[in-house]
Chain A
Amino acid sequence: MLRVEKVSFSYGGARKILESVNLEVGGGRLVGLLGPNGSGKTTLLRIISKVLEPSGGVVFLNGKKVSELSVRELARELAVVPQETAASFEFTALDVVLMGRTPHLRRFELEKEEDLRIAEECMRLTDCWHLADRPITTLSGGERQRVFIARALAQEPKYLLLDEPTANLDLRYQIEIMEIIKRLAVEKKLVVIMASHELNLVASYCDELVLLNNGRIIAAGAVREVLTRENIRRAFGVDVLVETHPLTGAVYLLPVNGQQHTALHS
């Protein structure tokens, strides 16, 4: 279980990036973290993963304070799929996934068969095992994203954080990645938190949503409770219709006259 307690953050100035954020997520749940640009989504993920230290508040993993875990201990519990997966080196996809085994290996220890087996399993789960011997530089965005998800899984974490995993992907890859993430949460009983701008995508896959605005949580809970016309207007300043998908029953949003509004005002 992941618990975020009264977490605040600022870069020293008066402006608070996050203000007294509380969050509690249990195993097997896929949680979407929503909010406009600059609302603090990425900052929250970076605090949970100990890249940033909060100026106030505590993050607990399974009752243990994150700040008291070593980086290595944390890496065995929690994995992160970064927003941008830079790749200007010629490692193969398998090499990259094997790097996910780092927190489980001693300094001079070489990867063993067990590590290869885990890497293979993770790459099969994310459907990229067939890319194993391709240099990471030659992969497309969607393929690379899957490799990096596999790397995160190879850490055998109980918590998985993803920062806009579907950004820059076309529709097919977006759905593919979401299917994978959803399956992982259920099958591996992971706590998954993903920051995203794709409201409709998130609405049809996530179990719970958290909506951030100006560093505060303005709504949290079931999809239908969070994605309301009022909440969206408050957070994004956009008027939407909240509809139900005729086939899947999921919530989806339709912007109302968004184009005309901006056209009139500019």
Chain B
Amino acid sequence: MVINVSASELKRSDAAEPYLIRLYKTKDFFTYGGKSVQVAETGAHVFEGGVRHTYLLERVRHWRFILLVFSLVLFLSVFLATAVGSTYVGPSAILNAFRLGIYDLLSKLGVELGAHAGETAETQKLIILDIRLPRVILGALVGAALAVSGAALQGLFKNPMADPYVIGISSGALFGVTLAHCLPLLSLLAAACAKQVFAFLGSLLAVFLVYNIARTGSRIPVDMLLLAGIATSFLFHAVSSLILYLTLQGDWHQIISWVLGGLWLASWGQVEAAFLPVVICTISLLFFARDLNAMLLGEESALHVGIEVEKVKKIILVLASVAAASAVAVSGTIGFVGLMVPHAVRLVVGPDHRILLPASALAGASFLIWADALARVSSLEIPVGLITAISGVPFFIYLLLRRKRAIAYA
């Protein structure tokens, strides 16, 4: 027998203690007192011992499902975005290019699969695999790095406005890269140890400045953080632009592209440079997901459940900086990805960092792939940073307004 029970009826009944289960699907069935009961509303309290343990189980299932969907979207995005560009390449040609690419890989491993490609196919393969694919993958890495960095920073500062761009990490990294790129003495050094290192040093300098300017006692108030971030951001942006202006002899196009951020320099070499730091930082940040959760309840409170707050805070700051810096080293400063993506993702998956961080990384990757695809469709080659900024700033203002309302009603 099936009875429809509304949430209120379930709660009213005093036949048994209400067992909590958050239901993720409507119309789940379970048995109660020998009858099969159908839940008409999600979020209802559910009785019956048999279902009590499903909270944890459902949560893990839910997380797995989210990761699966987000991964699938990313995979499809990588594939589909290679179709976007100034030269039209049809879907079958794309598949063909991927096939040829796999043959090439296999032949390197000594497996020869004959199939010699024609000249058109070779050209298309070149466009897809050597021009577009590295760019798409680089976009994914940059997006993932910025989003996961933003998600971690928002948790760390307990502040939804934090983001590697807003709090100055990105411009600090830009400063480092610019120095390595433009100053002859340093570029010799830079040849020895990758640009990433300079980006990282620059970002750490920025974090150090912002952190110490904003810190008031043991707290980091929101307004101080934003103001210190903006000031630092301006400073490093301006100095970087100045250096670029002087050394590039006023090549405005290139300067603007650097400062606004874009993926036009993408190559397999760039992908290789960004891959390890981004992946390592993302995984390492996952390591601290539970700590971030606890710290959302307040730092002292996190200490009481056994988290070494001061140490963890520093580690997370460094990891978030390295992630963002390795993105900046290959793409310039692309703004607001780290702000918008974790926010949107949080609405879907909730505040738990154990799912928020990986989901943000996946979503950020997909997001930047499409933002860059949009930048490419116009033959003008718009810096992708402009597109993220144009979509990001209204979002930022929306958050500010919501905050204002919250303060007004408080």
| Residues in chain A within 8 A of chain B (CB atoms) | 49-51, 71-76, 79-80, 82, 85-92, 94-96, 99-100, 102-103, 105, 107-108, 110-113, 115-116, 120, 129-130, 132-133, 151-152, 155
Contact = CB atoms under 8 A, between A and B. Distances in A.
Contacts of B43: 133
B6 to A, nearest CB: 16
Nearest to A123: B20
Interface in B307-335: 307-308
A107 B287 contact: yes
B9 interface: no
8 contacts: A71-B303, A74-B306, A82-B298, A110-B60, A111-B56, A132-B20, A152-B304, A155-B305
A79 B304 contact: yes
Interface residues of B, number: 31
A112 B56 contact: yes
A75 B305 CA distance: 5
B290 A107 contact: yes
Contacts of A92: 22
A59 B45 CA distance: 45
Contacts, number: 88
A201 to B, nearest CB: 24
B18 A100 contact: no
A29 to B, nearest CB: 21
B304 A49 contact: yes
A129 B56 contact: no
Contact of A75 (B22, B297, B306): B306
Nearest to B308: A71
A91 B350 CA distance: 8
A151 B293 CA distance: 14
B17 interface: yes
Contacts of B294: 99, 102
Contact of A51 (B18, B296, B300, B350): B300
Nearest to A73: B306
B301 A82 contact: yes
Contacts of A129: 17-18, 20
B356 to A, nearest CB: 11
B298 A100 contact: no
Contacts of B52: 116, 120
A102 B60 contact: no
Given A111-B56, A112-B56, A130-B18, A91 B351 contact: yes
Contacts of A108: 287
Given A75-B304, A103-B305, A133-B43, A94 B298 contact: no
A102 B352 contact: no
B158 interface: yes
A74 to B, nearest CB: 7
B252 interface: no
Nearest to B20: A132
Given A107-B290, A110-B60, A133-B45, A71 B297 contact: no
A82 B303 CA distance: 11
Nearest to B290: A102
Contacts of A105: 290
Interface string B31-68: 00000000000010100000011011000100000000
Contacts of A90: 350-351
Contacts of B22: 92, 133
A74 B307 CA distance: 10
Given A71-B308, A103-B306, A129-B20, A86 B297 contact: yes
B289 to A, nearest CB: 9
Interface string B3-24: 0000000000000011011100
Question: Which 10 pairs between the two chains have the least Cβ-Cβ distance?
Answer: A75-B306, A103-B306, A72-B306, A132-B20, A102-B305, A80-B304, A89-B296, A89-B351, A133-B20, A133-B22
**B17, B52, B306, B351 — most chain A CB neighbours (10 Å):** B306
A65 to B, nearest CB: 17
Contacts of A155: 305
A51 B303 contact: yes
Contacts of A86: 297-298
Contacts of A73: 306
Given A91-B293, A102-B306, 17 more contacts: A51-B303, A72-B306, A74-B306, A88-B158, A89-B351, A90-B351, A91-B351, A92-B22, A94-B55, A99-B294, A102-B290, A110-B60, A112-B56, A115-B56, A116-B56, A130-B18, A133-B22
Nearest to B354: A110
Contacts of B17: 129
B296 A91 contact: yes
B108 to A, nearest CB: 36
Contact of B306 (A76, A113, A116, A151): A76
A96 B306 contact: no
